[in-house]
Amino acid sequence: MHRLVNNTSIDWFTAWPRQALHAVANQFLAKVVEHVVHVHLSVGQYSKEFLAKLRRINHVTPKK
């Protein structure tokens, strides 16, 4: 047990400033937004492929 305590380090983290939290959140959410846009724009084509391959209809309705 003594070796474990001697070879242990503690990293102390301070609170993040508001600007840093916004920067991290914006970077992460930008990727989420880009993915949602891609899905929204490609769902029509994938629905056509779904119908051709599996003969099943996927209804897509526009959202406001």
Cα-only R_g, the chain: 24
Residues 35-40 have a mean pLDDT of: 91
The predicted structure's pLDDT at residue 8: 75
Q: Strands, DSSP E only, in the chain?
A: none
The predicted structure's pLDDT at residue 39: 92
Each domain of the chain, given as residue ranges in start order, spans 19-64
CB burial readout 10-36, b (16+ within 10 A) else e: eeeeeeeeeeeeeeeeeeeeeeeeeee
Q: How many residues does the chain have?
A: 64
pTM for the whole thing?
0.53
Query: Which residues, 6+ apart, have CB-to-CB distance to 56 below 8 Å?
Result: 50
pLDDT digits (tens, 9 = 90+) for 7-19: 777 778 899 999 9
